[in-house]
Amino acid sequence: MRDIAKEAEQAILNLKDQNHGKIYLKTNQIRKFLTAVNAITNKVNVYKAKHLDATELPDELAGEIQFLKVKVAYQAGRERSVKDFMKQSNMKQHIEAVGTSIAKYEAFAHYIEALVAYHKFYGGKD
């Protein structure tokens, strides 16, 4: 079984090591992404409430999740610290791995929450 918390912690530690002990990624940069993920999570929860036996997401929601790659790519193009974060966290691969699986999306959302928490814990900039 995958340890999401350990994986997130290692990504932040790798980011810190890459930058000689500093994390240049600002909290607001990572929180913008968390906000986008939380908005999708709310939609997933509504879908799950209406479709109690569902294990797969409808195409519309799966598409919104895949569009997160575009949002993070745009931010990465604007700011090197975001690009470094994307690379260390394997963000693109994590998003692509979700596919249409509700369980995989939920694990992804927890991974993002863990990244934010470890970013703060290890001294990410405000």
Full-model pTM: 0.91
Say if residues 126 and 25 touch (Cβ distance below 8 Å): no
Paired tokens of 71? 């949002």
- Looking at the DSSP bridge assignments, the partners of residue 101 are 56
Tens of pLDDT, residue by residue over 38-95, are 999 999 999 999 999 999 999 999 999 999 999 999 989 998 989 999 999 999 999 9
CA distances from 52 to 17, 111, 126 (A): 44, 24, 40
For residue range 3-49, list pLDDT tens digits in order. 999 999 999 999 888 878 888 888 888 888 899 999 999 999 999 99
Q: What is the DSSP letter of 51?
A: S
Are the C-beta atoms of 26 and 124 separated by less than 8 Å? Answer: yes
